[in-house]
Amino acid sequence: MPGTRRWLLLRAGGVLFVLWASATITFFALRLVPGDPAEAILGGPGSQAGPEALEQVRREYGLDRPLAVQYLTYLGRLVSGDLGQSYSLHKPVATAIGEQLGATLTLAVCALALAWVLACALAAWSVRGGRVAWAIGSGLELVAAAVPHFWLATVLILLFSTTLGILPPVSVPGPLGVVLPALTLAVPLAGFLGQVMRESLLTAMESPFVTTARARGESEVRIFWRHTLRHAAIPAVGLSGWAFGSLISGAVVVEAVFARQGLGRSLLSAVQLRDVTLVTGIVLVVALAYTVMTLVTDVADRLVDPRTRAVAR
Amino acid sequence: MSGVGRSGAGRRAAGFRPTVAEALAGLVLVLLLVAAIWPGLLAPGDPLAVSRTEAFQPPSLAHVFGTDESGRDIWTRVVHGAAESLRIGALATAIGIGLATVLGLLAGLGPRWLDFGTTRLVEVLFAFPGLLLALLFIVVTGPGVLSSTIAVGLATAPGYARIIRSQVRRTASAEFVEAARVLGRGRVWIVTRHVLPNVTAALFVLATLGLGQAVIWVSSLSYLGLGAVPPAAEWGAMLAAGRTYIASFWWMTFFPGLAIVAAAAAATVLGRGIQKRNRSAS
């Protein structure tokens, strides 16, 4: 398939371009922050660093050299995986991200799995329950999609920790601690996925392949799980890249509410402390993951569904 | 058990008679607007009036939503907070859609290189998941109501821009635009008389749907301490203030959050309703 190879090369080139452009944007964002960058590296305006210390930092970080040189050095460092030094944590940004990545990934994967289970279960129930169940199902999805994470977290803590006392209100190590944060992230996502699936459920239920299956004498349960749901899930699967992005955004809030360690909480405290190196480092790593993930989804889509090959450039 | 009958009902809902959900959403919207414009009608009290003796009162007839740590009535504060929360949300949406319209028009109508450049720019902005773009902006400008509003607008713009570009493209290749071009109409005429009016309907839907999300985002930023700050009666800030007392005084966080959910859900229902009617009308 020479067409596919060309397309793949173009897409990979596009990803490289996006990564270069995001690095450039963050570099200039760093320069836009008011105040002396040397002072920021030494701990912000409160550090009361002497002129000699500032001068030393400037020399060390190359801040006294022309902007173009600084920019190229910055890009060179990024390529070798050096994201700079975080002044608030007193360690390299790459190390700090490595320490926090696992916790956030665990949370995101649990939430994504839970969201799919919730969305499919609700769809299955409301398809077979008649008009009332259909209305309740779409109402639930709507409210779920409209719930802000921080409020849902509060309500879940009230319900499961304060009233029932079965789950810890702050995240403790171990599987029990991940339940409430994952549920908080999963409910709004399930609402979105459910809404997308519901649109295509209707068309799928009227499709010839469902009629054929019914004529073959397949049971309604089997028809739903084997044909209708699979068809309806395609557009929702295509949203995986977007879902990942929304999970990372949500993790910032959820990790803060549950005092759970992770990338989101580090990002938030870095924003509060204006630790610009740490913020740009985390943002860049997430952008990298997000872009690569979108590429993987696109490639998978193209390999699985031959129809997209005709449309895509 | 017939799926056909149900989807038939779905089609009927696309008529001009509002569904139950749409009627409810309309009611919520009217209440929110009244609260935003004449808060005194719904809650005559002072949202900032402190009363030490009445602190931490649970919901009762005198205080339907209870009172907070300073004895301020939460119902009054939620009602008076509507104006601030909705204004910030609307401003953020307007910034996002305004920016996206410029980008979308440039990409959809400009020469190929401009389309290429704009599309790449949007793609790059897309690489930053929403809230992260907003946080990147806030770290540059510093926290505050205005910067969190602009941040949310900026973060939502790429998504809108994509939709607007494809709408503009579709309109620009329509027969009536072709006809106008054949008649010798200039670019500006075609954009203002043909393309924009046809994109407006889609913009309106986007704005309604986006408003709900913007209210959530902006209040999330206030909750994280990066937007409006207490004692301002903004919903996110109220939730943040109640955070310390979750375990004992649930009403301090529950009711302001309920207002956000109601606003966001109502905006979504109404946006969808308009979208459906647009589609069936065209």
What is the pLDDT tens value at each position of chain B, 282 positions in all? 333 334 444 444 445 678 888 888 889 999 998 888 888 888 777 777 777 777 777 888 778 788 877 778 888 888 888 888 899 999 999 999 999 998 888 888 778 888 888 888 888 888 888 788 898 888 888 888 899 999 999 999 988 888 888 888 888 778 888 888 888 887 778 878 888 887 888 888 888 888 988 998 988 898 888 888 777 778 888 888 887 787 778 888 888 889 999 999 899 888 888 888 877 765
Distance CA B253, CA B243 (A): 7
- Tell me, yes or no, if the pTM score tops 0.90: no
CA distance A120 to chain B (A): 17
Look-up: residue for tokens 């989807």? B7
Residue A278 touches partner B, C-beta closer than 8 Å? no
Determine how many CB atoms are found less than 10 A away from the CB of residue B211.
23
Q: Which residues of B touch A257 (CB under 8 A)?
A: 243
Helix runs in A147-174, H state only = 149-156
d(CA B136, CA A276): 9
Give Cα A247 to chain centroid, integer Å.
Answer: 4
- Which residues of A15-100 form beta strands (DSSP E)? 85-86, 91-92
**A232 and A285 Cβ atoms separated by less than 8 Å:** no
ipTM, 2 decimals?
0.81
Q: Can you give A43-54 as a three-state secondary structure string? A: CCHHHCCCHHHH
Residue B186, min C-alpha distance to chain A (Å): 31
Across the interface, whether the CB atoms of B253 and A270 are under 8 A apart is answered no
Kindly list the residues from chain A whose CB atom is less than 8 angstroms away from the CB atom of residue B234.
none
Closest Cβ–Cβ partner in B21, B129, B225 for A245: B129
CATH of A95-311, one of 1.10.3720.10, 2.60.40.420, 1.20.210.10, 3.20.20.70: 1.10.3720.10
Alpha carbons A287 and A298: distance in angstroms, whole number: 16
Query: Residue A80: left (phi > 0), alpha (psi -120 to 50), or beta?
Result: alpha
> Chain B neighbours among A 86-125 (CB < 8 Å)?
none
DSSP state of B278: H
Q: Which of A21, A32, A149 sits opposite B220 (nearest CB)?
A: A149
B243: which residues sit within 8 A by CB, 6+ positions away? Answer: A154, A257, B223, B253
Chain A residues inside the 8 Å CB shell of B85: none
Give the residue from B29, B32, B136 with the most A CB atoms within 10 Å of its CB, the best one to mutate. Answer: B136
Q: Which of B220, B226, B268 sits opposite A271 (nearest CB)?
A: B226
Q: Would you call A18 an interface residue with chain B, using a CB distance cutoff of 8 Å?
A: yes
CA distance B235 to B253: 9
- Cα dihedral A28, A34, A39, A43, rounded to 10, equals -90
Cβ within 8 Å, pair B261-A270: no
For chain A, list residues with pLDDT below 70: 1-2, 35, 37, 40-49, 171, 303-313
Residues of chain B positioned with their CB less than 8 A from the CB of A272: 143, 225-226
Angle of CA points B240, B245, B249, to nearest 5°: 115
CB B81 within 8 A of CB B233: yes
Tokens of B150: 């602009």
- Residue A118's pLDDT is what? 93
Strand, coil or helix: what is A85?
A: strand
Rounded distance, CA B82 to CA B15, Å? 32
Q: Interior CA angle at A176 toward A171 and A180, to 5°?
A: 60
Residues A153, A258: Cα–Cα separation, whole Å: 8
- Domain boundaries in chain A? 19-82, 95-311
Closest CA of chain A from B227, distance in Å: 12
Contacts of B239 in chain A (CB under 8 A): 150-151, 154
Q: How far is CA B104 from CA B98, B201, B203, B221, in A?
A: 10, 15, 11, 27
pLDDT of residue B282: 56
Closest partner CB to A283 (pick from B136, B226, B246)? B136
- CB hemisphere CA count around A12 (13 angstroms): 6
Kindly identify which residue of chain B lies nearest to residue A18, measuring between CA atoms.
Answer: B124
Handedness of CA A57, A61, A62, A63 (dihedral sign): negative
**Cβ–Cβ < 8 Å for B66, B57:** yes
Q: Are B161 and B107 in contact (CB under 8 A)?
A: yes
Structure tokens at A222: 């089997």
Residue numbers in B near A162 (CB within 8 A): 246-247, 250
Q: Does A231 touch chain B (CB under 8 A)?
A: no
pLDDT of residue A305: 61
Predicted pLDDT at B96? 94
How many angstroms separate the CA of residue B108 from the nearest CA in chain A?
Answer: 18
pLDDT tens per residue across span A208-244: 888 888 888 888 888 888 778 777 777 777 777 778 8
| Residue B222 contacts residue B197 (beta carbons within 8 Å) | no
Q: What is the dihedral of CA A110, A297, A95, A97, to 10 degrees?
A: -50
Partner residue facing A249 (CB), from B124, B132, B268: B132
CA distance B59 to chain A (A): 16
Q: In Å, how far is B273's CA from the nearest CA of chain A?
A: 13
CB atoms within 10 A of CB A311: 7
Handedness of CA A112, A114, A117, A122 (dihedral sign): negative
- If one counts every other C-beta atom within 10 angstroms of the C-beta of residue B154, the result is 19
> Which of B246, B264, B268 has the CB atom closest to A154's CB atom?
B246
- Choose from B120, B140, B269 for mutation: most chain A CBs within 10 A: B140
Alpha carbons A305 and B20: distance in angstroms, whole number: 39
pLDDT of residue B149: 93
